[in-house]
Amino acid sequence: TIEESIRRGVITRLLNPVWINEMLKHDHHGGEKIASRVEYLLGFAATTHAVDNWIWDKVAEKLVFNEEIMNKILNNNPWAFKKMIHRLIEAYERGYWKTNDETIKRLRELLEKTDEYIADIKSLIYKH
């Protein structure tokens, strides 16, 4: 079934620490690949309604709230990390993910911190 296929893809890739670490060996592109997988989940949720709630919980827990992974993704591609946070918030706002207000508050705070981090990077790059 489509549900089984999505679950298998999430478990073998998106939430698999070995896959995540292998992706992050590729500068910039690794983070983008991970963020794209989160975006695909949102597409599957919209078109098939086959993305279980636990999947969103685990994506938030393992990719965004896990400090070690968060720092690796931020160092690899902060824009990809920002994109992941946006997609999680969007999944919640569209009703595909049922979570508590505290989780959404944490995501929004992290989004704000990520924006500040990106602004700091830009100021270093464009400093004359």
Tokens 């992290």 sit on residue? 110
**19 near 12, Cβ under 8 Å?**
yes
Helices (H), 49-100: 53-59, 67-76, 78-93
The total of structural domains in the chain comes to 1
SS3 (DSSP) at 5: helix
19-63 pLDDT, tens digit per residue, is 999 999 999 999 999 999 999 999 999 999 999 999 999 999 999
CA atoms within 13 A on the CB side of 24: 22
Check residue 70 and report its DSSP letter.
Answer: H
Domain extent at residue 89: 2-125
What pTM does this model have?
0.92
| Average pLDDT of the residues in 75-96 | 97
